[in-house]
Each structure stands twice: as C-alpha cells, then as structure tokens.
Amino acid sequence: MKRTIRLFKEHGLLRVIDEEVDIDLEVAHIAYIETKKDDSKALLFTNVVSKRLDKKFSMPVLMNTFCSYEATNLLFGKDPDTVASQIEELLHLKPPVGFYGKIEMFSKLFGLRKIFPKRESEKGECQEVEFKGEDVDLFDIPVLKTWSEDGGAFITMGQVYTRSLDGKKQNLGMYRLQVYDKNRLGMHWQIHKDGAHFFHEYKKAGKKMPVSIAIGGNPLYIWCGQAPMPNGMFELLLYGLIKEENPRLVKSLTNDIYIPKDVDIVIEGFVDPLKSEIEGPFGDHTGYYTLKESYPVMDVTCITHKKEPVYQATVVGKPPLEDKYMGWATERIFLPLLKTTAPDLIDYKMPENGVFHNLILAKMKTMYPGHAKQFMHAFWGVGQMSFVKHAIFVGEDAPELSSYDELSDYILDRVSVENIIISEGICDALDHSSPGSCYGGKLGIDCTEDNVNYPKKEIISDNELYDKMSSISPEITQIKQYKTYTKTPLTIIKVKKLHPVREIYEKLFNLQKYTKLLIFVDDEKNDIDNIYMLVWRIVNNIDAKRDIFLKKEFIGIDATNKNEIDGFKREWPGDTECDLKVINNLQKRKIIDVDEEFLRKFYI
C-alpha cells in the first residue's frame, strides 16, 4: 500500500486527512462524498479512532484507491484497452508461418510464464507481526461501520482466498465480511460464487474449510477478486498478465491457503459448515441495504501484518463511487472474452448508475432477423452476465455508448412493443425488487433497426398534461416530459401510491395520444429533474415480469417501492443515506466542504 500512496502523492491524487475521525460513519461518509467529486482523490486517514471501542489506531486507513480514470490507469500501469488487446491477441493466436513466425510465437508464449503465481517457502512481509490463539483480536484493525443501519463493522476490501476440497482449484473473491467479535467473521458468500461452491464441497465432506483474507498490497489484487474470470481459473493469473510479473505467494501460518507476500494484513481461519449466523443489514453497492440473512461463520485462528500496515477499505452505496472506475476497467478488459460468446458484439457499457448488473448497453452488428434477441439470451447465459436484468441492444450505426444523450435519442426512436422481450432467470443476490431471492424478470430491448412506424404523438405542455393526468388519478403529484421530439416521448410521473400502479396506468390509457412511455416513481425521495439518479432508482426498483406494462404502443414502468399494495411479500429495504448529524459535524470541522445542492444531487 505504501508504494501506491507514494505513486498517488507524485501525481497529485492523494488527500491526507490528519484530523481525528471515527471509524463509525465518519471515515466512510468523508470517502462517500469525495468519490462523487469531479476531482476525486484517494484519501489517507492518519488519525483514526473508535469512540465505541475507546480505541486509537496506529494503523492508517486508505480509501477511494480507484478514485478516477487516471488513478486506475496508474494502478494498472497501462490503459485497460491495452490489456484487452493483449487478451484478444492471445485468443486469436494462429499456427506460425515460417521461421520468424515461430520465433514471434515463442516469444509471446515465453512471456506467458510470468502470469503464473509462484509459491515461496519463506515467510512474507505480510507475516512480520503475528497474533495467534487468544492474542487474535479483530478489533485491533480499524474496520469501518459505513451506514447507520449496518449490522456492525464490515471489511469491504477483503481479498478472500479459498481452494477446492481436492486442492486443484484456487479462488480469489471480493466479499464483504462482518466483524461479529474479536475472532469471528460473517462470510457473505452469494450462492452463485466460486467461494460458495467450494464451501458446499467441504460441507458435503463434513470438513472445515480453510480461508485466508488479505487486505492491502497491490490494489490490483482486490480488482482481480471482483473480475468475472471463467469458472475454475485463479484470478491472480490476471494480475500476472497485467503486471507482466509472477504474483509471489506465501503459505498462511495456520492453514494451507497461499496469499500474496506483500499484502498488508492477513486474517486466517476456518469456516465450519455446521455454523451459521445472521449477517447484515449492510448498505451495499446497489444503494440499498441488503437485509439480514443467515451466512457461514469464519473462526479466526491467526492475524498477521507488516510492521507498518495500511488498512484498505471502500464505501459502497449510491453512485458514483470508486466501483465506477473498477467496473470501467473490468468492462474494457473483458470485452474480448465476451466476444467469444457473441462474436458480432462491437462494444458494451454497464453504466455505474445502472448498478452494473441492472443495466447493460450493447452495440452489435446485426446479421439476420432476431439476432439481437439471440444475443440477449446469450448474455443471460454467460457467467456474471447472467445477472444482468435489463439489456438494450443498438446497431453499429448508433452513437458512442458513453454519449448517453445522443444514444437515448437513438434508442427512443426504436422502442416498440414488438421489439421488447421479457424473460426470467437468475439475478444477483443483492437484488431487492424480484418477487423471490436470486430469481426474477429480465428485460431486453432490440433497438438495432429503425422499424417503428405509427403516428407522432400530440405534445402538450407539462402543466396541461399534469392537469389531465391528475384529474384522472389524484395519486399523481408531479410529472415531467422528456425527449418529446423522439418517437417515444416519455413522462416521469410521481405518485403517492394508494393503489397498484398498474391500475393508475390503465386509467391513463386514453391519454396515449400525448405520450408513449410512462415511468412511475414514488413522490418521496425522487427528483424528476435529476435523470442520473432517476436511472439509478428505476433499474433498481423494477422486476420486468411484474412492473412493465405493454398495451399497444402505450408502455408503463412501475419503479415505485413495492409493498402490500402491490402484493409484495418480501421486505423492501431502505436506501443508503448519510447520517445528517455526522455530515453537519464534518462540515463544521471543515473536513468536508460540499454544499446542500451537492448533497441533494446525489441523494446523499
């Protein structure tokens, strides 16, 4: 971590905070606000305390490591598109022709020797200081509590190293870990992840599962932990490919798991398949709390660290956050691998305010009727792409996928009921809007052809349209029209819901000559002038099978919070919000310097 800190200092990308700040809420709130600034920097907290534990920590805390595109490129040592080109070249290696062709191929293959992890027999610098048995104390690490309603303190940048029961497969995952007490952690293994698959092997065999958690070291370790590598491939191979150097591993002291020698902190232990405990709530990267649920427990047997360790953490919640830049690198680097399944794919983008798995935009070359719909099913069946809830496909003549204003015009000129497909499949365990856990509706829209033909809508002012709508349904409190010049003019409608939104939509059907796409949101906590956060709310809150209404060319989307009015049986979680007293106190101490407009803009 110290190398990263020096690198960021040299490039003006580090802000050092020497004022005393608390690991409960204060540190996370400062980082949460910093990540949303246009000139976001990494944060080094040198004076962290816990009033709850009556403790002052000597260990500094580094946050917002992936603070910008510039910082991400520095950490990689190259542009992610360069890495993508390397992968694409390897995927398309052909038998060499002639002597020089053989030399060139040998050179490429010889270079690949650097990607494989190497195990060393000596202790690593991560093991300079060690605590075992009764000396183990997780409370000596400045683990943060991020949100007021969190179930406790959570390790958020933990590199979770596991291996299969037969020892043939290794895995590096990025999972949150709740601190229960001085020597126990909650393991948030989602059922679709490799760590959970290994766990079930040990459970079936009736054996305890070894786990080691590393924190710090090269920030690329944690990025590799969240990368969507093919099943069975060790994520550190990707580190070797990017850095062109072998990851150097050492054995944990109390189990057989190997971890990088240069990480800052290592937490070792075992997970007993017979033990579980309630984990959560936790304000997660969706911007909503994930609710309490039973998860496996890790008994910690040993903690080691460098002589002068740095604790690395992240804050997750409403976008934009540092996962914006981590996700951007992942998106760029894995494009070639995605093309092996969808060869006519040109590019794709997962906007951070779409919470990545909630929205994907894809540009493709269409070769035959139904090609885009075929792609939708291919995406929904591939690795972590199978978690994507909403996919919009555009043709090769579409604007750049990052040019959202122009792209939305293109899409809205191609939306029709015929071009929409509603399916179902697995979804992320963090998704709160599906009727059941981990399974729900999926939406695909084929916007690859300009084939929408019907009369143009009669556009009237917002005030006129509001008067007409509110006279039909008094539950409507405000409306705003967007993109009225396209073939799909849309209207955002705020409601104080007393009846299912479908009933309101049905009542408005006679107004179809004025608008085409109705999007309903709750009256509270939504600003209909703030498109960025509206996209975040909408894609989070809908299940395609339940919340999309298609009647001729009059389309409704129910993006309200669901409750008993809707027959929703699960608990609907709250969204993450900073503690106002903490914010006011930090402002008074001049540790944060944003105004009320900034706080409102990002629903802070």
**Spatial separation of the C-alpha atoms in residues 444 and 350, rounded to whole Å:** 14
CA distances from 315 to 83, 189, 312, 325, 556 (A): 27, 19, 11, 13, 34
Cβ within 8 Å of residue 320, ≥6 positions away: 35, 36, 352, 353, 602
Which residues are part of the catalytic machinery? 284
Tell me if 110 sits within 8 A of 118, measured CB to CB.
no
- Smallest CA-to-CA distance from 263 within 305, 322, 317, 211 is with 305
Tell me which residue of 349, 23, 343, 7 sits closest to 155, measured CA to CA: 23
Quick one: which of 45, 1, 43 has its CA closest to 23?
A: 45
> Please, are residues 32 and 43 in contact by the beta-carbon 8 Å criterion?
no
Residue showing tokens 């885009």: 372
Any idea which residue has 């979770």 for tokens? Answer: 160
Tokens 């959570």 belong to which residue?
154
Amino acid in position 136: V
Q: What phi and psi, each to the nearest 5 degrees, are found at residue 8?
A: -70, -35
Run of H or E residues at 464: helix 462-472
Reading the block at residue 462, the tokens are 């917002």
End-to-end CA distance of the chain: 29
Would you say 307 and 245 are in contact if contact means Cβ atoms under 8 Å apart?
no
472 is written with which tokens?
A: 């039909």
E strands along 242-331, which residues? 248-251, 258-260, 265-279, 282-283, 289-290, 293-305, 311-313
Radius of gyration of the chain (CA): 25
Do the beta carbons of residue 429 and residue 192 sit within 8 Å?
yes
C-alpha–C-alpha distance, residues 261 and 120, integer Å: 9
Is residue 565 packed enough to be buried (19+ CB in 10 Å), middle (13-18) or exposed (0-12)? middle
